[in-house]
Amino acid sequence: MTKTNRLLLVAAALLLIVAVVLFSFGTQRREQQILQQAIQDYREAKLAQYRAENDRYADYEVEVAFLGDSLTDGYDLTKYYPQYVTANRGIGGDTTFDLEARLAVSVYELKPQVAVMLIGANNPYTMMENYEAILSGLKTNLPNTQVVLLSMTAMGGEIWGPKNPQAMQNNIIIQSLAKKYDFTYVDLFTPLYDLSAGEVYAGYTVDGGHFTHEGYLAVTAQITPVLEQLLGK
């Protein structure tokens, strides 16, 4: 093979590599766009569902509305709280900013007797930038609704576990804000946290963050007595 042919072969190989990289980048970009559209479609479908429910329920007919992200979205309320009329207002992937943007549809228009909020796992490092704004909105727009603030939960694994120190710091702030706004605070972190392992108890989550049935049972055990006290049953 001549020197010229070798150079041409090398050039062709480099062009092939560049083409593969560009194709991969383009494919990833398209996949990302498809994913973002799917998330947006899901959110819009959930909000449409909420509007329909808001029209169906009279003011304060719903005894407990749960607000939050995927931890709430995946919470089978009829299974764990059959004694109450409940509304699930969780949307997977939501941050505190996403929740704030949909408060009117999610809870203001519903007017539940009790609103239970668990949010922040998707943006623990920035959630305090608008967390109090959410509380102020609830206080102003739902003066007759009792609000329960759930602490951030204990987490585990490579993805979720590193968020535990920030979660603990945030929980101190959440508890102080609950006192400031005369809301009820419920600590979920401590009963879920395995001190010996330094993370959430094994068996409580499927991936260190999202709950199994056992995890939801543990959470429900902390929330139920509070609801019984607030609702008188």
Query: Which pLDDT tens digit goes with each residue over 170-206?
Result: 999 999 999 999 999 999 999 999 999 999 999 999 9
Residue 27 buriedness (CB in 10 A; 0-12 / 13-18 / 19+) = exposed
Q: How many percent of the chain have pLDDT more than 70?
A: 88
The DSSP element (H or E) to which 219 belongs, if any, is helix 213-231
Q: What is the mean pLDDT of residues 10-16?
A: 47
- pLDDT, one tens digit per residue, over 92-139 is 999 999 999 999 999 999 999 999 999 999 999 999 999 999 999 999
pLDDT at position 186 is 98
Whether 52 and 62 share a structural domain: no
Whether 33 and 116 share a structural domain: no
Residue 6 belongs to what domain range?
A: 1-56
Whether 85 and 179 share a structural domain: yes
Whether 109 and 21 share a structural domain: no
Whether 188 and 87 share a structural domain: yes
What span, in angstroms and rounded, lies between the C-alpha atoms of 33 and 39?
10
Under DSSP, the state recorded for 208 is S
Whether 91 and 111 share a structural domain: yes
pLDDT band at 34 (very low <50, low <70, confident <90, very high): confident
Give me the number of domains the chain comprises. 2
What span, in angstroms and rounded, lies between the C-alpha atoms of 32 and 84?
40
Whether 43 and 102 share a structural domain: no
- Among 50, 59, 149, 127, residue whose Cα is nearest residue 90: 50
The DSSP element (H or E) to which 33 belongs, if any, is helix 3-56
What span, in angstroms and rounded, lies between the C-alpha atoms of 127 and 129?
5
Q: What is the mean pLDDT of residues 19-32?
A: 63
Under DSSP, the state recorded for 105 is I
Whether 22 and 11 share a structural domain: yes
pTM higher than 0.75, yes or no?
A: yes
Whether 212 and 154 share a structural domain: yes
* Domain's final residue, options 41, 56, 71: 56
Angle at 126 between CA 185 and CA 76, to 5 degrees: 50
The overall average pLDDT reported for the chain is 91
What span, in angstroms and rounded, lies between the C-alpha atoms of 104 and 200?
33
Evaluate whether 223 touches 186 at the Cβ level (below 8 Å).
yes
What span, in angstroms and rounded, lies between the C-alpha atoms of 80 and 69?
18
Whether 29 and 65 share a structural domain: no
